[in-house]
Amino acid sequence: MRIARAELKELMKRKFCRAGLNDEHADIVADVLVHADARGVHSHGAMRVEYYAERIAKGGTNTKPHFTFTRTGPCSGIFEGDNGAGHVAAKLAMDEAIKMARETGIAVVGVRRIGHSGALSYFVQQAAKEKLIGIAVCQSDPMVVPYGGAEPYYGTHPIAFAAPSQDGRILMLDMATTVQAWGKILHARSRQEAIPDTWAVDETGAPTTDPFKVNALVPIAGPKGYALQMMVDVLSGVLLGVPFGGKVSSMYHDLSEGRNLGQLHIVINPEYFTDLNEFLQNINQTMADLNNIKPAPGFAAVMYPGQSSLIREQNYERDGIEIVDDVYNYLVSDVIHNNAYDKKGAFAR
């Protein structure tokens, strides 16, 4: 079914407030989730609400976190999340990184001891809206077999990037370092749909098209994706002094405990490297150049990174955001959660 963006956000916010978040934090979490749904990334949108609500209600998300930000150098800092809602901590940490980059040209801010923060595109977009470049990386559950291995070690370990343009459009990347994000598997499960056989493997290590038989995901481009996962784990785990690699906590293992995840934001101020107007114009030129490239057989056009999500967002603004009926029914119900996730494995159904 389709629902207006404002209504969807309000339904999610109300559920989070009932679970125990304060109004301000519930509003931020709902805003991050509706951003994902509006861009067609439903794996990080409304379908996640019940999981978050259960974790909030059971105490695994600190509803009264003591957030602190400490500058550790001229262009570096640490934001302590106190296991509050990851979306809130990540947003506030990016606000600090933006302020710092305006002063010093570049900012590197570590965010530690947080929960899952949703779509990283939301946070790098914060920077791009301020005419800055944003980069973000973060940890996730061990659920990916390393190249040549048969057991999971790293997570989907996403990477996001955003750069502003003269006319307000944003050149943006938000990708998992696996062939597909785990949230996409969850989305396929919610719709009872098969998945491509290149996304994941079953318990024997063989490719599977059944989202309910997934036992591990696979990295993009074999050893290259595996190496990118290592990089993300070092930057958002080892560097920040939080659990890393196979020690990263499972999303579903114990919803009464905090997850202690790490995330890293990097913000670059183009004015410290080149003329700002020229930079913005050249980003627009990059977009135009890519759109003007002759498409290959089977393609209608070449799009710049982030363009398809922008088109989807514009369509959803006009026609309403599409969400699964079961998710909508949960959102409008009086149920806070159905005890569906606690004490489950990384591949909880």
Active site residues: 116
By the 8 A CB rule, do 59 and 84 touch? no
Q: Roughly how many angstroms between the first and final C-alpha of the chain, as a whole number? A: 23
By the 8 A CB rule, do 323 and 46 touch? yes
- Taking the C-alpha atoms of residue 315 and residue 336, their distance in angstroms, rounded to an integer, is 31
Instruction: Look at the block and give the residue holding tokens 């024997």.
Output: 204
Question: Is 335 strand, coil or helix?
Answer: coil
Instruction: Provide the strand spans (E) within the chain.
Output: 2-3, 68-73, 76-80, 106-114, 133-138, 159-164, 170-175, 200-201, 216-217, 261-268, 321-322
By the 8 A CB rule, do 214 and 116 touch? no
